[in-house]
Amino acid sequence: MGLGALIGTVTDGRAARTSGPELDSKAEGSVLADIAAEMIGEADAAMPVSDIEQVIQAKRGDTFMKLMRNAGVPPEDAHAAIVAMHKVYNPRDLRPGQRITVSFRPDTDDSEKNLFLGFRFHPTVEQAIHVDRAEDGFNAEAVDRELNTRTVRLARSIDANLYTAASAVGLPPSTIVELIRLFSWDVDFQRDIQPGDRFDVMIQRRQQPDGRIVAYGDILYAELTLSGTSHRLYRFETPKHGADYYDDEGRSVRKALLRTPIDGARLSSGYGKRRHPILGYTKMHRGLDFAAPTGTPIYAAGNGTIEMAGRNGAYGNYVRIRHNSSHATAYAHMSRFGRGIRVGARVKQGQVIGYVGTTGRSTGPHLHYEMLANGRQTNPLKVKFPVGPRLTGTELARFHAVVGEVRTRLAGTDPETRVGEALTR
């Protein structure tokens, strides 16, 4: 019975009272107030208490205990929950950037306090870790997520640069970097791409049954159309070379070194004599300068070993990579170095080795990029790069069959052209 109905019953019942004394209006109002308060109390008791969720993100040097304490979890609860979690997940595996949802419930006995219920997070796209309060402490469980793998096609025209266009269709930064790396052997991203050019990608995508996207997998096919000319590549795997990317003729797109180790930058100074902007006299400029905002990622031009990483006079923060017995590349004026970049470290082509800055003798944020052949600086734009393997025989026949399958799928698949389009179809 609702509160209004109950009050109505009491009020309407006044004429029926014959055995007891009549209530004056003041007393009757008090009775009604008491009944109303009682009903409201019962209604509040019956209503579920909403849980409170707080999302926290791990930074470098954080531990689960530190994160729990910063979120307001009592130390004894935090310790018990982490000990329980250890059965299914090692707390030492926490990585910077990991997002953790911590849950509380308002304490019904003390409005100033919240009861810690537990936390959950996804260490991988395939798995979730749940830690929940139980009668005798905390329970932890590793829950496998139900995911579907789909092959999708994403395409869009390029208005500013490839990174911005690929972001607009939902590709994550790591996939975009891979896409740029694949074409960087043959495409100068500072000069070759013009507004109105286009990219087209076929890629594996992992998503939940409700359509929510959780991860992207391998790029199966990619095409850049630049000034009307198409550059296509296909992912193909062989026993000898493993997974690699090949053009229409079965030639590997892999080259020894990237022509431009940065995306979205402007070539601000070429190789050759120029009037130095600081020193004021004509001087040989033995590299390429790419103007870009501070913090823009700089990629290793090829596989190799770090020969130098540190402050280097007018070069500022400087990295030099030895690629083989004859070739090395150098990168100067960085604002900071990439993770793990130190002398002796091995790097892979396309790995982030640092970020654009203006350290050393510099008039503004840019990358100074040098290529050295047998210890002498040379023009990176004029170097002839050796090509990767070329498929022959049965491998070539098998590759052409894969190319045919990809083209058939392309002909029958409409591309998604904006973020979230797959969720609204």
Domains with residue ranges and CATH for the chain: 1-9+29-47 (no CATH), 52-144 (3.10.450.350), 148-255+414-424 (3.10.450.350), 266-382 (2.70.70.10)
Average pLDDT over residues 381-400: 82
Report d(CA 207, CA 420) in Å as an integer: 12
Q: Find out whether 228 and 198 touch, Cβ atoms under 8 Å.
A: no
Would the pLDDT of 425 be above 50?
Answer: no
Give the residues across from 377 on adjacent strands: 372
Would the pLDDT of 374 be above 50?
Answer: yes
Question: Which residue did the predictor score with more confidence, 124 or 400?
Answer: 400
Q: What band does 362 get if pLDDT is binned at 50, 70 and 90? A: confident
Q: What band does 265 get if pLDDT is binned at 50, 70 and 90? A: low
Give the residues across from 143 on adjacent strands: 128
DSSP strand pairing (376-378 vs 352-355): unpaired
Q: Which of 63-77, 95-109, 313-327, 379-393 has the lowest mean pLDDT?
A: 379-393
Question: Which residue did the predictor score with more confidence, 168 or 317?
Answer: 317
**Tokens 């076929």 map to which residue?**
202
Average pLDDT over residues 211-223: 87
Would the pLDDT of 391 be above 70?
Answer: yes
Q: What band does 1 get if pLDDT is binned at 50, 70 and 90? A: very low
The predicted-structure confidence for 17-41, as pLDDT tens digits, reads as follows: 334 444 454 444 454 445 445 554 5
Question: Which residue did the predictor score with more confidence, 245 or 374?
Answer: 245
Give the chain's mean pLDDT: 80
Q: Residue 345's pLDDT is what? A: 92
Nearest residue to 326 via CA among 376, 258, 254: 376
Question: Which residue did the predictor score with more confidence, 277 or 13?
Answer: 277
Would the pLDDT of 227 be above 60?
Answer: yes
Report d(CA 203, CA 172) in Å as an integer: 12
Q: Find out whether 68 and 81 touch, Cβ atoms under 8 Å.
A: yes
Question: Which residue did the predictor score with more confidence, 267 or 258?
Answer: 258
Secondary structure string (H, E, C) spanning the chain: CCHHHHHHHHHHHHHHCCCCCCCCHHHHHHHHHHHHHHHHHHHHHHCCCCCEEEEEECCCCCCHHHHHHHCCCCHHHHHHHHHHHCCCCCHHHCCCCCEEEEEEEECCCCCCCEEEEEEEEEEECCEEEEEEEECCEEEEEEEECCCEEEEEEEEEEECCCHHHHHHHCCCCHHHHHHHHHHHCCCCCCCCCCCCCEEEEEEEEEEECCCCCEEEEEEEEEEEEEECCEEEEEEEEEECCCEEEEECCCCEECCECCCCCCCCCCEEEECCEEEECCCCCCEEEECCEEEECCCCCEEECCCCEEEEEEEECHHHCEEEEEECCCCEEEEEEEECEECCCCCCCCEECCCCEEEECECCCCCCCCEEEEEEEECCEEECHHHCCCCECCECCHHHHHHHHHHHHHHHHHHHCCCCECCCCHHHHC
Q: Residue 125's pLDDT is what? A: 78
Report d(CA 171, CA 160) in Å as an integer: 16
The predicted-structure confidence for 297-351, as pLDDT tens digits, reads as follows: 999 988 888 999 999 999 999 999 988 777 889 999 999 999 999 999 989 888 9
Q: Which of 123-137, 188-202, 294-308 has the lowest mean pLDDT?
A: 188-202
Q: Which residues are within 8 A (CB) of 26 and not within 5 positions of it... i.e. 6 or more apart? A: none
Q: Residue 246's pLDDT is what? A: 92
Report d(CA 279, CA 89) in Å as an integer: 58
**Tokens 């009861």 map to which residue?**
115
Most confident listed range (71-85, 152-166, 359-373): 71-85
Q: Residue 21's pLDDT is what? A: 42
How far CA 340 is from CA of 60, 79, 180, 353, in Å, comes to: 14, 32, 22, 8
Would the pLDDT of 259 be above 80?
Answer: no
Most confident listed range (104-113, 118-127, 206-215): 118-127
Q: Residue 77's pLDDT is what? A: 94
The predicted-structure confidence for 278-303, as pLDDT tens digits, reads as follows: 545 455 566 888 888 999 999 998 88
Of how many residues is the chain composed?
A: 425
Would the pLDDT of 185 be above 90?
Answer: no
Share of the chain above pLDDT 90, in %: 38
Q: Residue 284's pLDDT is what? A: 58
Q: Residue 87's pLDDT is what? A: 93
Report d(CA 316, CA 414) in Å as an integer: 49
Would the pLDDT of 161 be above 90?
Answer: no
Question: Which residue did the predictor score with more confidence, 109 or 117?
Answer: 117
Question: Which residue did the predictor score with more confidence, 381 or 225?
Answer: 225
Q: What band does 272 get if pLDDT is binned at 50, 70 and 90? A: low
Q: Residue 419's pLDDT is what? A: 60
Estimate to the nearest angstrom the gap between the alpha carbon of 272 and the chain centroid. 39
Q: Residue 201's pLDDT is what? A: 93
